[in-house]
């Protein structure tokens, strides 16, 4: 009985030992690598560049006052449409005390001269009526009187203009009313009633009362890298995407390429400008960020493969083509246009031939799963 038990134990140990050896041997054998393959496809290849920028009105002006003073009234607000000549704001003039004093003194002198001219005329008129002096002599005094009257009227107008901004001869407010110089929409009104404003002159740009723009004519302003700008020309079509309306695409026509580049973050950028074709049912606000796709080259319905399948040595391009199952040979090909994902095949490959997918064996993929 003990002998039989020992025999059974020995057999079990032997079976376990042999099984372990067989399992380790099987594990040590490498599985055959089976590479995945693909074929060339007929597709369209578009090489394009992207310009980033924003959408702005073609005509955008800043309305500035012609006199310095304080804003007493505002007639518009942002978003309101105005016509050329519409009132934007009213400025209450704070007169310069030196100019005001000089204007008042000028009125007083004009009054004195008028009184003197009138007295002289009245004396000479009585002599003329008595036929003591001739008509030619009285005419000189008439001219002097009229000149004195005109000087007084001019001095009074000047005083009123300095003090109130109103001319007595015009009978209306002059440059204290700020008016729009174009028809369009008010974009911003950066001032409030009570703010001091400075007139526009040769030494100062002046305070902006409002910004007005024609929102019916918009342009895209963007920048293109120097490596791509040489491929652009005026008249090219752009497909523009607005960040705030990403579901819609707008067409634009390139109309200007800057002749001078600007360095930004170590790269030279050239500004471009394109006229945007607006859609009636969509309102584009000034300053929207936008991207424009510019088609540089295009190939329709051409044979192509993935760029990652093509290997390059010097000036030669090649792929690995399956000659027999899982046996691959190098095949030199001639490539054309590439969009970075697919590359055009000009010669050396047919649509039916299988191409080895580099670094993608099927066995390895199955193990990962």
| Global confidence as pTM | 0.61
Sign of CA dihedral 62, 66, 70, 75: negative
Taking a C-beta distance cutoff of 8 angstroms, is the pair 88, 191 a contact?
no
Taking a C-beta distance cutoff of 8 angstroms, is the pair 281, 290 a contact?
no
The predicted pLDDT at position 363 comes to 41
Taking a C-beta distance cutoff of 8 angstroms, is the pair 322, 314 a contact?
no
Phi, psi (degrees; rounded to nearest 5) at 80: -85, 140
Per-residue pLDDT of the chain (369 residues; tens, 9 = 90+): 566 666 767 777 777 777 777 766 666 655 666 778 888 888 888 888 889 999 999 999 999 988 888 899 999 999 999 999 999 998 887 776 777 788 788 888 888 888 888 888 888 888 778 777 778 888 888 888 889 888 888 888 777 776 766 666 655 545 678 899 999 999 999 999 999 998 887 888 899 999 999 999 999 999 998 988 888 889 888 999 998 888 899 999 999 999 999 998 888 999 999 999 998 888 999 999 999 988 888 888 889 988 888 888 888 888 888 888 878 888 889 988 888 888 898 888 888 888 888 665 544 333 333
Enter the DSSP assignment of 22: H
- Cα–Cα distance measured from residue 304 to residue 39, given in angstroms and rounded to the nearest whole number: 9
E strand residue ranges, 4-93? 35-39, 41-57, 60-63, 69-74, 81-82, 87-93
Among candidates 40, 36, 35, which has minimal Cα distance to 342? 40
Contacts of 247 by beta carbon, 8 Å cutoff, 6+ apart: none
- Cα–Cα distance measured from residue 222 to residue 256, given in angstroms and rounded to the nearest whole number: 11
Q: Which tokens hold the place of 270?
A: 């050239």
- Cα–Cα distance measured from residue 89 to residue 175, given in angstroms and rounded to the nearest whole number: 11
The predicted pLDDT at position 28 comes to 63
Q: Can you list the domains of the chain with their CATH numbers?
A: 35-44+300-368 (2.40.420.20), 49-57+216-299 (2.40.30.170), 63-94+173-213 (2.40.50.100), 97-164 (1.10.287.470)
Question: For residues 140, 145, 148 and 149, what is the CA-based torsion angle, rounded to 10 degrees?
Answer: -140
Beta partners for residue 237, in sequence order = 253
Taking a C-beta distance cutoff of 8 angstroms, is the pair 58, 219 a contact?
yes
- Cα–Cα distance measured from residue 68 to residue 364, given in angstroms and rounded to the nearest whole number: 80
């Amino acid at each position: 009985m003990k002998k039989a038990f020992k025999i059974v134990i020995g057999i079990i140990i032997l079976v376990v030992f042999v099984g372990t050896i067989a399992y380790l041997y099987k594990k040590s054998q490498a599985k055959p690598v089976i590479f995945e393959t693909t074929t060339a496809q007929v597709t369209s290849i578009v090489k394009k560049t992207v310009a980033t920028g924003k959408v702005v009105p073609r005509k955008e002006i800043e309305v500035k006052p012609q006199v310095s003073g304080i804003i007493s009234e505002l007639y518009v607000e942002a978003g309101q449409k105005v016509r050329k000549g519409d009132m934007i704001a009213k400025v209450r003039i704070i007169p310069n005390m030196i100019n005001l004093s000089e204007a008042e003194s000028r009125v007083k002198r004009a009054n004195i001269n008028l009184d003197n001219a009138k007295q002289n005329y009245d004396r000479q008129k009585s002599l003329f009526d008595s036929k003591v002096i001739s008509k030619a002599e009285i005419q000189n005094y008439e001219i002097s009187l009229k000149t004195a009257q005109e000087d007084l009227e001019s001095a009074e107008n000047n005083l009123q203009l300095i003090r109130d901004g109103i001319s007595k001869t015009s009978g209306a407010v002059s440059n204290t009313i700020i008016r729009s110089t174009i028809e369009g929409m008010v974009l911003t009104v950066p001032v409030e009633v009570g703010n001091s404003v400075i007139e526009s002159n040769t030494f100062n740009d002046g305070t902006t009362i409002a910004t007005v723009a024609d929102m019916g004519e918009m342009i895209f302003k963007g920048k293109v890298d120097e490596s791509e700008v040489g491929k652009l020309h005026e008249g090219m079509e752009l497909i523009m995407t607005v960040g705030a309306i990403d579901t819609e695409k707008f067409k634009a026509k390139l109309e200007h390429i800057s002749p001078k580049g600007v360095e930004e973050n170590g790269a030279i950028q050239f500004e471009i400008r394109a006229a945007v074709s607006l859609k009636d049912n969509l309102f584009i606000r000034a300053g929207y960020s936008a991207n424009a796709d510019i088609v540089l080259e295009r190939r329709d319905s051409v044979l192509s493969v993935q760029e990652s399948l093509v290997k390059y040595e010097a000036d030669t391009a090649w792929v690995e083509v399956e000659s027999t199952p899982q046996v691959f040979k190098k095949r030199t090909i001639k490539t054309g246009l590439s969009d970075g994902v697919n590359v055009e095949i000009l010669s050396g490959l047919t649509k039916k031939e299988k191409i080895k997918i580099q670094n993608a064996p099927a066995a390895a993929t199955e193990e990962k799963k």
